Structure 1
Amino acid sequence: MSKKAKKSGASNPTVENRRARHNYAIQSDLEAGVALVGSEVKSIRAGQVSLAESYCFFVGDELFLIGARIEPWKPGGGHHNHVPDRRRKLLLHRRELDRLQKATQRDGLFIVPLKLYFKGGRVKILIGIGRSKNQRDKRADVKDRDAKRMIARVLKRGG
């Protein structure tokens, strides 16, 4: 038997939270599963999701994704749709949850979603653990980026 041909990436979009890397100094990242209902998965496949203004927060000893907007699935008629802004539980091992909870409580770190994608037919989210950047850190990032761009421009010209 031959293997099935891989589908194109159009049906499996990757949604990135660009503001997260701008507003936070990410120290490490971790992949987690997301507890979703069927209409949410369909909407994510259609690319109707936004991670802007979203964050992760502990409620008790469970980690939830808050503020992510997954638009309702329109072709289904709308009567069995999900709530677009509901809290979604993140699926991690207990050891990972304990480590994250200690990092947020003791070290004052934040947990932010970086990327939402499909892996093996399941929705995964890449969460980053990091500190909030202040204005000085953001300015330093801009200076570094400009310096790298200038170096690349000089090297491209051959001199």
Structure 2
Amino acid sequence: MAGKKKEKDTESGGGTIALNKRARHEFALGERYEAGLSLQGWELKSIRAGRANIGDAYAVIRGGELFLFGSQITPLIQASTHVVADDRRTRKLLLHKHEIDKLIGKVERDGYTLVPTAMYWKRNKVKMELSLAKGKQEHDKRDTARDKDWQREKQRALRHRNKDA
């Protein structure tokens, strides 16, 4: 028993680094994939300081590889002076070849989009959660909002009823 260690899923102060809350509103999310990120040293330091944003990000498959566009990692002031820090540079996403092949079929044939929904720590590595998504029409967004409001009202009514009983 002395050899067993309790394994922590998250390192360096919490699991979630950045969320794309707008993705749930703008897209109908489907299958989810976990991808690694190819980062430079200054980017990792900035992420540890909480300076990452994936609100406008999207993923594209080019030449059999997966790339992340539009994510912003703001460099720290203390970043090295010999490195030119580009906060919105294209970053490579790391997935197995068979997963990329499956994604190529879904994106090219079925018209899905790859949307990053979360960036988080997993065993001292930065991971990105990607979702296969289809864009929502305006009426779909209204339906989603109406359903969410109905669920909230239903919970309130049940809570109120249980409180009286």
| TM-score in terms of structure 2 length | 0.88
Partner amino acid for 1:71? T
Structure 2 unaligned regions, length at least 5? none
Distance in structure 2 (CA, Å) of the matches to 1:8 and 1:20: 26
2:37/2:126 contact within 8 Å kept? yes
Structure 1 residue 88, shift from structure 2 partner: 0.3
Structure 1 residue 14, shift from structure 2 partner: 2.4
Structure 1 residue 83, shift from structure 2 partner: 1.1
Distance in structure 2 (CA, Å) of the matches to 1:8 and 1:30: 21
- In the other structure, the counterpart of 1:93 is 96
Partner amino acid for 2:32? D
Alpha-carbon RMSD across the aligned residues, in angstroms, is 2.1
Deviations 1:90-112, CA, capped at 9 Å, x for gaps: 00010000100110000000000
Q: Percent identity?
A: 37
Which one of the candidate residues 24, 27, 32 is aligned to 1:29? 32
1:111/1:129 contact within 8 Å kept? yes
- In the other structure, the counterpart of 1:108 is 111
Residues 1-159 of structure 1 aligned to structure 2 (within 5 Å): 10=13, 13-158=16-161
Distance in structure 1 (CA, Å) of the matches to 2:22 and 2:53: 12
Equivalent pairs counted in the alignment come to 159
Partner amino acid for 2:91? R
Deviations 1:73-101, CA, capped at 9 Å, x for gaps: 22235442531110000000100001001
Greater CA deviation, 64-73 or 8-17? 8-17
2:120/2:126 contact within 8 Å kept? yes
Structure 1 residue 11, shift from structure 2 partner: 6.0
